[in-house]
A and B are shown apart, each in its own frame.
Chain A
Amino acid sequence: MNKPQKIGLALGLVLIACLPPFLKSYGIYLMTLLCVYLMAAFGLNLIVGYAGQMSIGQAAFYGIGAYIAAILMTKMGISFWLVLPIAAVVCFIVGLMLGFPALRVQHHYLAFATLGFNVLVYLVMRNEEKLTGGTFGIANIPRPSLFGYSLDGALPFFYFTYASVILLATALWWLLRSPWGRAFAALRDNPIRAESTGVNITAYTLLAFAIGAACAGIGGVYLTALVNFIEPGQFNLSVSLMMLLAVIVGGSGRFFGPVLGSVIVILLPEWLRFLKDWYLALFGFAVIVLMIFLPGGLLSLADRFKPLGGTK
């Protein structure tokens, strides 16, 4: 990132921060939801875009995070600040346990395993009524407070979530710039060559998957605090598929790809309300057209205008 880009990014972030006070409460809710969704989508981009694996189960981790938060906070009264690391660590460990067997065999098995895992998690959420409330879900989940300052209001909670997602994104950015992260680029571009230069493909991919899962878990905790009510339908397979499409449509493997993709999935339908269900039909067919002409996602459009031979 060069200097003008850095200034542009900072200006953009400040501009977004100035927006919510002028919005109605639904607008603030959507902006917050976008931030929450982004946490999971950034994690998914790590898996899909950087480690080159298909994951069709990000909503399962999103849901595990959300349910851990809901159960621990409402039934046991544990504070948000303790729940956050618990959810992240649990998702990380579950990610390792799911990813390890699936990644022993290359190909699309992680995609298959995550798909199955998502359905399984959904079934457990729906059927284990004692623990998860079944289809009735869990309601009345409290919002956290920070240094004694309550984040109950829509605006304070937005700023809290906004700051958190920027923090998370910065951590991921730093991770990807580190030597550890550089190995990913090598891995994705030519796995066999990367392996021959001493990169342990399986270990790296597995770790990327687990970190991506942990990001979704963190997102789930924030989601719980945002909507105050969760039920299994929020975490079924179609949510995972949508999130995968969001990351790929935006531009997987590009740091800001998930941002664009999430805006398309979360905000665009609100502006195009008059289309009703036709919106999703159009979206589905637009994805096909996009894959044919721009398989790298919308952000790869910028590369088309760059002079040939330039480096990223």
Chain B
Amino acid sequence: MGELIQLIVSGTATGAIYALAALGFTLLWQASGTINFAQGEFVMVPAFIMLLFMGTAGAPLWLAFLLTCLVAMLLLGYTFKVAIVDPLIRHGVIPLVIATLGLSIGLKQLVKSGVTAQAEPFPSPFPDGLLALGSIKVSYSDVGTLLLAGLIVIGLQMFLNRTVTGRAMQAVAQNTDAAKVLGINVKRMVLYTFLINAVLAVVAALLVTPTYLAKFDMGESIGLKAFYAAIIGGFNQTRGALLGGVLVGVLENLMGAYVSPAYKEGVALMLFLVVIIFKPEGLLGKTEERKV
């Protein structure tokens, strides 16, 4: 029983990281119709930027994290939107998807040949050791990950639901034209979404890199899981990304422990395939009307 609970806790922690990446993914989709196939690389690049700040500039982790948030907002938020998404979105979804695929390959290879092809160690923001609650032992890093990710997600939900800006962003996501008519600055709201996505990616990088290590291809797996999580939960629902992320994380852990470690990767996939067959709008999603 204790083991099961431990597996669920650590699975939820991993899932929370997937959920962060998935959340950014769905936000981008809702606000601008962008399917970002480079989402995993958006986690990988900040990991290396943080290492750069810590290594060459000697900054402590928290400072490196904050500085990286700024750099990521500029590069992965603003520049990504202005240089790639804006000129492409008028051509429709497919050219944009292809461009983000290109971006994914480009960023990966750039880091591989320009920085390093090796896996680099990354310091954990949390202390080592285990927290014992009776017979259940949970690592501090799992607890920390859950707390931090939970805080970010709750904060983001509050921002989206309680503030004027957040509600304006939701309005843009639900009906761009109506939002425009109501005097909402659509362009600015979309830009905010891109900035938020960039920050979420940096947080995901901070939490995942200590275990995954910083490597040029670390984004492949995270990007894929975020993608599954977003679709399992419901592509057009922010809450869906959370549910999807946690489900994927927990099921993976249980599968790896009780059934077969070799097919650990496959469990998210099976769930994903079942969901797109039987409930294509996702577990929490709403069906989208076809636009003529």
Interface residues of A (CB under 8 A from B): 54, 101-102, 104-109, 111-113, 115-117, 119-120, 123, 126-127, 192, 237-238, 241, 244-245, 248, 276-278, 280-288, 291-292, 295
Contact = CB atoms under 8 A, between A and B. Distances in A.
Contacts, number: 121
Given A112-B276, A278-B113, A284 B106 contact: yes
Contact of A291 (B95, B107, B114, B117): B95
A277 B95 contact: no
18 contacts: A105-B280, A108-B93, A112-B231, A113-B276, A123-B269, A245-B105, A280-B105, A280-B106, A281-B112, A287-B98, A287-B101, A287-B106, A288-B84, A288-B102, A288-B106, A291-B88, A291-B91, A292-B87
A287 B99 contact: yes
Interface string B262-292: 1101100110110011001000000010101
B265 A291 contact: no
A106 B288 CA distance: 10
B133 to A, nearest CB: 36
A288 B103 contact: yes
A278 B112 CA distance: 9
Contacts of A123: 262-263, 265-266, 269
Contacts of B102: 245, 283-288, 291
Contacts of B147: none
B109 A284 contact: yes
Nearest to B112: A277
A280 B110 CA distance: 8
Nearest to B224: A119
Interface residues of B, number: 46
A241 B35 contact: no
A288 B99 contact: yes
A152 to B, nearest CB: 36
A109 B276 CA distance: 7
Contacts of A115: 227
Interface string B78-93: 0000001001100101
B193 interface: no
B94 to A, nearest CB: 6
A150 to B, nearest CB: 40
Nearest to A277: B113
A284 B104 contact: yes
Nearest to A275: B113
B64 interface: no
Given A278-B113, A280-B109, A120 B97 contact: no
